[in-house]
Structures are given as C-alpha cells and as structure tokens.
Amino acid sequence: MTTPPPPVTEPDPSALTCPGDKAGPCAVCRRKTHRYGPGGRPLCAWCMSAARDRWGPGVHYDSARP
C-alpha cells in the first residue's frame, strides 16, 4: 500500500457504482461502501487491503467480524 486511505467521510469508489440500496457502512471504519448483494463486501477497499496485508489473499470474511 503506497496510497494512504482518504478520510472516512469519502465513500468507497464501489459505493458510487453500485445501486444505492446495496451501499452500507464498512464494518471497520464506517465508510460508505458497496456492502450488500453480489460483489458487496463488509469492508471498504482500504480496510480490505489492510486485512489482506495482515492475513494474506485467502482471508475469509468471517475473520473480519467487527
């Protein structure tokens, strides 16, 4: 990771491209992200990459509970 994450008031880019009803808060930083439905994740892109750094590419979502 070379780019620092933007302030949590900035929505994740995925939140801007998904239907509004699929957007929700990141489980870690509460940033608005594409959380629900196909392609949705409980974490925003920045928290997800931090989780990958920590746990490797095989990280499972159930390891990322708040």
In the complex, what is the shortest distance from the CB of residue 25 to Zn ion, in angstroms, rounded to a whole number?
8
What DSSP string describes 4-16? PPPPTTSPPHHHH
Shortest Cβ 42–Zn ion spacing (Å): 9
Which of residues 10 and 37 has its CB atom nearest to Zn ion in the complex?
A: 10
- Select 31 or 34, whichever has its Cβ closest to Zn ion: 31
25 contacts 12 by C-beta, under 8 angstroms: no
Q: What are phi and psi of 58, to 5 degrees?
A: -85, 15
Quick one: 23 or 26, whose CB is closer to Zn ion? 26
Residues contacting residue 19 through CB under 8 Å, at least 6 positions apart: 37
Which residues bind to Zn ion, rule: CB under 5 A?
Answer: 26, 28-29, 31, 44, 47
